Structure 1
Amino acid sequence: MYHYPGALHMHTRFSDGSGSVEDLARAACDAGLRWIIITDHDDLQAKQYEGWLHDVLVIVGHEITPPRNHFLALGIDRVIDNRLPPQTFIDQVYDAGGFGIIAHPDERVKNSFKDIYRWDDWGIDGPRHRNGRTVGIELWNLMSDWGEHLTPRNKELIYFFPRLGISGPTPETLAWWDRLNMAGRRTFGVGGVDAHAFIRQTFWGKVEVFPYRWMFGTLTNYVILPERLPLDPAAAIHTILDALANGRSYFVNRLDGDCPDLTFHAVRGAERWHPGDTASLHGGPLTFVADVGCDAEVHLIHDGRILARGLRILRHSVILPGVYRLEAYRRGMPWLYTNPVYVTGKRREGMR
């Protein structure tokens, strides 16, 4: 399997970012990324730059941005009206052949840096008629997370030491994600940087909050591919978007270390199932195998609850169907999240 690092949810000068598409591509290359997804607010002008730029695959969607209920629309060629109700604009994205990601769903704090842009109705979680189609949730939005911690007293401190203002996905967001997948509503999770490289005037002059290059070294999504990424731009874009939509990915906060070669799969004999795959218990029990490649506390999550723990590595056999995913923590801080492996099959007699 091939793991390709990338970042999503970012803004250029076509909306409220400070950089050009080329600036973002160059910063992504410097950060070791292979792909980025630009999502300017209600704007698709960056689409003219789609393709390979500075050895980075540039993919362009847009962020539908009413006052609240933001949604990253991917795989479509027209801007969706942000005045529509959330359910309607989601349906229009899917009717146009695209898919999308619910952005920063659990914001709660308004301050001098940001307003509250939460997803108000968690009963709206995808198109009205899913028909097997998936939707994404931005489980962890770095800029939102940092902004939620900002206060008048700490703003200088966490500007210079931003790791102090980052705490990871909220428990409520993770629980929502698990409930949706347990209910059969396939939902993939991602980490978003929400990069703007804001320019702010301070008493010591203009400052950049935070540079694209720095942001691209934080929440990184690795797509998992069975073959190398195509060189043809259109084929490569389709491959990345298809992998994301099908949950063939994981994300890691590289501020606390990278994980470019994660091992996480279910195995039985010579068969393996990776994130996004569906395995069956009808052929017998499965064994989940994980290795994050460094010192970390590893949790195997089954239907939203911790099933097994390990240090760096984990190996655990299962006999129950459900939704299985991996979380890992470094120095007690959230670090890595995979999308689930879905396990089907009958429960054993007397087991619940």
Structure 2
Amino acid sequence: MIYEYTGNLHVHTSYSDGHATHDQIALAALKARLDFVVITDHNIWTGGYDGYRYLADRRVLLLTGEEIHDQAREPQKNHLLVFETHQELAPYAREPQRLINKVKGVGGLSFIAHPVDPAAPSIGEPDLSWADWDVHGFTGLEIWNYMSEFKSRLKSIPRAIFYAYNPTLTAMGPFPEVLERWDQLLADGKRVVAIGGSDAHATPIRKGPLFRVILPYEWLFKAVNTHVLTKDPLTGDAEHDRKRLFNNLERGNCFVGFDLPASTKGFRFTAQGDGSQAIMGETITARFGVTLQVKLPSRADILLLRNGEQIRQWEDSEAAVHTVIEPGAYRVEVYRFFQGKQRGWIFSNPIFVAN
């Protein structure tokens, strides 16, 4: 049996440039019906906050990571999300490869944050894209960052005001350049896990008589999330459950879902062949062919890709089946109409088919 847990992996508190406490963020996550939420303040690891929070019959597991970058670098680049280090590693930020090595050395996970992050000059926000692509050994990529996509829409002050009041019109999907980068890494044989995050700050903005909290926490927690799949349920013990979630995240047993148009809970991408089965993040052999199966929680358009190349498409479907014999990294993208446009809805991690 497979268990599914929905969470947000990129959130800031008032310890850095966010605008809420840990407990306030946990309450927003509870109201949004998340199962877990990870705090990733800039260059500060805050211990002592981890654990379950409760609201009526709901619980959410709050965990602490960090978003590390070299604050002295000009221009600013190379933000790295780190989890499960349980210590401050910001002093290693100057050299991204050294930082990645250190994270790995203490048993942590590292994800390149907002690999493409366009500047928004109209609101004074610089380009914070990742620059040092010669690094290796990182766990994965944040393929969909809601704040980065929001920034990309703010071409002028009027547009900034428009999207501040109409945030549901922001999201279209991961930037194509990020998906291309990920697919190239996968095609090169690298195991790179995809995650999605809100990059939540809940920044209050005043412009003359107008006042608005930009992308509130609870609202963002209903948008782009990472869904982690486990073969055993969470128990309610915080230490046990954190290890289970991060172990499965590291293996790529997860997918990115845009839960605002409709819940992505229940999406499954599996493989069967030669007497064995596999879920996202796992490897299966193709000696006699492998049958890939896709199941959606509701009807949408499904794309099946191998090493970044589309090989099949199904329109307005709830399920899809396709048999393959070629080795490669197979993944799924799902699109559906929302607010008058076709938008990205689900992005799976790959199943690896081997000879």
TM-score normalised to structure 1 length? 0.92
CA drift at 1:113:
4.9
Q: 1:248 aligns with which of 246, 253, 259?
A: 253
> What one-letter code is carried by the residue in structure 1 that aligns with 2:6?
P
1:107 corresponding residue in structure 2: 117
Asked if 1:312 is matched to 2:318, the reply is: yes
Asked if 1:196 is matched to 2:207, the reply is: no
Q: Secondary structure at the match of 2:48?
A: helix
CA drift at 1:82:
5.5
Q: Identity over aligned residues, as a percent?
A: 29
1:335 corresponding residue in structure 2: 345
Large movers: runs of 4+ above 3 Å: none
Maintained 8 Å contact 1:150/1:165: no
2:41 corresponding residue in structure 1: 40
2:49 corresponding residue in structure 1: 49
CA drift at 1:83:
4.5
Moved more, 101-110 or 78-87: 78-87
2:179 corresponding residue in structure 1: 174
Q: Secondary structure at the match of 1:143?
A: helix
Maintained 8 Å contact 2:119/2:128: no
CA drift at 1:65:
2.3
CA drift at 1:206:
3.7
> What one-letter code is carried by the residue in structure 1 that aligns with 2:68?
I
Describe the superposition over 1:212-240 as per-residue Cα deviations: whole angstroms up to 9, x where unpaired. Answer: 10010001111011111122111101111
Asked if 1:142 is matched to 2:146, the reply is: yes
CA drift at 1:269:
6.8
> What one-letter code is carried by the residue in structure 2 that aligns with 1:215?
L
> What one-letter code is carried by the residue in structure 2 that aligns with 1:27?
A
**How far apart, CA to CA, are the structure 1 residues paired with 2:264 and 2:193?**
19
Maintained 8 Å contact 2:85/2:108: yes
CA drift at 1:57:
0.6
1:272 corresponding residue in structure 2: 277
TM-score normalised to structure 2 length? 0.91
> What one-letter code is carried by the residue in structure 2 that aligns with 1:50?
D
Maintained 8 Å contact 1:38/1:58: yes
Report how many aligned residue pairs link the two structures. Answer: 336
Describe the superposition over 1:9-38 as per-residue Cα deviations: whole angstroms up to 9, x where unpaired. Answer: 000111111101111111111111000111
> Where does structure 2 lack aligned partners over 5 or more consecutive residues?
71-75
Q: 2:134 aligns with which of 97, 101, 123?
A: 123
> What one-letter code is carried by the residue in structure 1 that aligns with 2:52?
W
**How far apart, CA to CA, are the structure 2 residues paired with 1:219 and 1:83?**
27
CA drift at 1:336:
0.6
CA drift at 1:205:
4.8
Describe the superposition over 1:285-307 as per-residue Cα deviations: whole angstroms up to 9, x where unpaired. Answer: 11111121212100111110111
> Where does structure 1 lack aligned partners over 5 or more consecutive residues?
128-133, 346-352
**How far apart, CA to CA, are the structure 2 residues paired with 1:241 and 1:232?**
14
**How far apart, CA to CA, are the structure 1 residues paired with 2:124 and 2:262?**
28
1:223 corresponding residue in structure 2: 228
CA drift at 1:166:
2.3
Maintained 8 Å contact 2:172/2:343: yes
Maintained 8 Å contact 1:143/1:194: yes
**Cα distance change on mapping 1:50 and 1:136 into 2, 3 Å:** same
Q: Secondary structure at the match of 2:40?
A: strand
Asked if 1:324 is matched to 2:350, the reply is: no
**How far apart, CA to CA, are the structure 2 residues paired with 1:44 and 1:216?**
22
Maintained 8 Å contact 1:149/1:166: no
Moved more, 165-174 or 183-192: 165-174
Q: Secondary structure at the match of 1:109?
A: coil
CA drift at 1:59:
1.2
**Cα distance change on mapping 1:26 and 1:270 into 2, 3 Å:** farther
CA drift at 1:340:
0.5
**How far apart, CA to CA, are the structure 2 residues paired with 1:330 and 1:141?**
19
Maintained 8 Å contact 1:42/1:82: no
2:292 corresponding residue in structure 1: 288
Q: 1:186 aligns with which of 188, 191, 206?
A: 191
**Cα distance change on mapping 1:135 and 1:300 into 2, 3 Å:** same
CA drift at 1:121:
2.2
1:71 corresponding residue in structure 2: 80
Maintained 8 Å contact 1:322/1:344: yes
**How far apart, CA to CA, are the structure 2 residues paired with 1:3 and 1:73?**
22
Asked if 1:62 is matched to 2:66, the reply is: yes
CA drift at 1:123:
2.3
CA drift at 1:118:
0.5
**How far apart, CA to CA, are the structure 2 residues paired with 1:181 and 1:33?**
29
**How far apart, CA to CA, are the structure 2 residues paired with 1:83 and 1:290?**
40
**How far apart, CA to CA, are the structure 2 residues paired with 1:61 and 1:155?**
30
